[in-house]
Amino acid sequence: MPRPVIIRSPLPGTPEQVFALLTTGENLAQWFCDACDSDARLGGEVHASWVDEDDEPWERVGIWVEFDAPNRLTLRWLPVQTAADLALTDAQQVVIPAADAEPVEPEHDELKFAIAPHPNGAMLTVLSPTPAVDVPMRPEVLEDATQQGWFQCFQLLEQMLAQSAP
């Protein structure tokens, strides 16, 4: 399994400005995804959607499991569900484990953000999982692709902060 990737970059804004770009839906939709609704608070949900290169829409739902303004954030993505997973009929049964059953902790797909003051504004550090892919791929290729994607995101964040500067 590929390791998470750590990406760090200074940004030309205050930690409070960077925090807002990471948490509000309208801002996330400008640098991270195509559309977003974010309940910017601890326990709040994030609904993000994208359109891929084949014009196919897809989306993710996450929860803010750490929300320490303006220093730290963790967004935990919920497991991806397909339409088949969601299409329960009355004939299907749902098994609920007994109260004394050992809970199973699913693997979490989390984005972690740390924001610190920096002489030129703020230093943003991202701990990002590498994507799961259906084809065999060397871990370092996935890690490199993840880094490149985040570098593009950092460029968009820099542009947004530069546009909002007085």
Domains defined along the chain, listed by start: 5-78+108-164 (3.30.530.20)
Q: What is the mean pLDDT of the chain?
A: 83
Segment 118-144, tens digit of pLDDT: 998 999 999 998 876 666 777 788 888
Peptide bond into 70 cis (omega under 30): yes
Give the SS3 label for residue 77. Answer: strand
Structural contact between residues 19 and 73, judged by C-beta atoms closer than 8 angstroms: yes
> What's the pTM?
0.79
- The reported pLDDT for the residue numbered 145 is 84
Contacts of 67 (CB under 8 A, 6+ apart): 23, 40, 41, 42, 43, 44, 73
3-31 burial, b at 16+ Cβ within 10 Å, e below that, comes to eebebebebbbbbebbbbbbbebebbbbb
| DSSP bridge pairs for 51 | 57
Which one, of 87, 64, 89, lies nearest residue 75 by Cα?
64
pLDDT at 166: 66
Please say if the pLDDT value at position 4 is more than 90.
no
What is the dihedral sign for C-alpha 45, 128, 65, 73?
negative
